[in-house]
Amino acid sequence: MTTGKTEKIAVIAAVLVMVFVLVTGQVAYGNVYGHLFNDSKAPKIQVLKAYVYTTSGGTYVFLNISDVAGPDAYPASVTMLSVSNATYHMTLYAPNISSSVVGITQAKWNLARKGYSNYYSGLVIPLGAQAVFELRLPTLSTGEYTLTLYTPAVPPVSVSLQITAQAA
Amino acid sequence: MSGGKVSTSDVTEQREATKSLTPLAYLLPLRLTVGWDWLDAGLRKLMLAPAKVNPSSSSFVLNKFVSFLPHAGPFTFLLKYFLENPSVGGTFLVTYAVAEVIVGVFLITGLLSRLAGFGSVVMAAALMPAYWLGSTCEDEWQIGILLVASSVVLMLMASGRKFGLDSYLFVKFGDRPISSLPVLRWIKFW
């Protein structure tokens, strides 16, 4: 192999490796250009879908929740939940939340990283996992409400709930 | 200092020969470290903590793929496929662990070092879906890029030709590509 060829291969390899380094770094942390970020520092609860229906026995809320950021070692928790509008306000703390949960449906890909609820943490969802939590709340009258999920140390997440006529 | 009895051309020749060998010898710590990095990873899964590759165990490594999902980009589809078909995912995991052991042993012993280096590049790049994870620093990305760059160097330098079994293979067989087909002929055994 001539020296010229060796140098050519070395330069091509260096360029390819550096492109790989810079592109992956920019995608993962923005460490080349623009503002820096690290998506695995703080949890981020995402409500993918909220569905509600009401009966005389209670109002049933289905929340499809995922944790899309934060450390992989610890799951995200919703330790407080509120339902409110101009004339109504209800706050549930972790023990109330866990006693309101009547069902949890796991996403197919969760494997052992399942969503669950307990007395201390309310709703719990591991990083990347997704689950539909079914909560039974006291019967809410017809109208529009804002449901807010609170996770310690990060901004709360709100979704709107439209309660129409009572189901049979 | 000028030598009286040894001819100048002999000295120059020896110096050149030594110079061309020295850089390769210096690669030894890197080859051993990258090799051990893979071997350790493979041995932990297959021998030291086999629960890691047991689908019914809570420490089944495939579970980690769940946490890669939120920012896995184009790999999301593949990760979900592995997770939704755990037998396929589990097979992939065991295959990857076996490859870790093979690449590790080959790099450490300097056997088929170009092919092992190539495998090491591919395997380090395959960790990409996890590059965004780093709750204390840019952990996974830093591990990944250093492994990719080190493996490229070990591959290009044919690092096993010094302090490795490739020294015998190279002397006996010379340069050998894995195939004479286009592109594949650029991938060398040692």
Structural domain containing residue B109: 10-186
- Looking at the partner chain, which of A20, A67, A68 has a beta carbon nearest the beta carbon of B148? A20
Q: Check whether B4 has a pLDDT greater than 80.
A: no
Asked if residue B28 belongs to a domain, the reply is yes
Is the Cβ pair A72, B60 closer than 8 Å?
no
Task: Please count the structural domains in chain B.
Answer: 1
pLDDT of residue B21: 61
In single-letter form, the type of residue at position B167 comes to S
Is the Cβ pair B60, A109 closer than 8 Å?
no
Is the Cβ pair A25, B141 closer than 8 Å?
yes
Reported as a pLDDT band with limits 50, 70 and 90, residue B181 is confident
pLDDT of residue B136: 86
Q: Check whether B55 has a pLDDT greater than 90.
A: no
Query: Which chain B residues are closer than 8 Å to A29 by Cβ?
Result: 132, 134, 138, 141
pLDDT tens digit sequence for B155-168:
999 999 999 999 99
Q: How far is residue B153's CA from residue B26's CA, in Å, rounded to a whole number?
A: 12
Q: Check whether B22 has a pLDDT greater than 70.
A: no
Asked if residue B155 belongs to a domain, the reply is yes
Asked if residue B4 belongs to a domain, the reply is no
Asked if residue B3 belongs to a domain, the reply is no
B3-17, B124-138, B139-153: which range is least confident on average?
B3-17
Task: Calculate Rg over the CA atoms of chain B.
Answer: 21
- Closest approach of A154 to chain B, Cα-based (Å): 15
Asked if residue B5 belongs to a domain, the reply is no
Average pLDDT for chain B: 90
**Is residue B190 within 8 angstroms of chain A, CB to CB?**
no
pLDDT tens digit sequence for A5-63:
888 999 999 999 999 999 999 999 999 999 999 999 999 999 999 999 888 889 999 99
Asked if residue B2 belongs to a domain, the reply is no
A99 Cα distance to chain centroid: 21
Average pLDDT for chain A: 93
Q: Check whether B107 has a pLDDT greater than 60.
A: yes
Interface confidence, given as ipTM, is 0.88
Phi-psi sector, A55: left (phi>0), alpha (psi -120 to 50), beta: beta
Pick from A156, A160, A163, A126: nearest CA to A50? A160
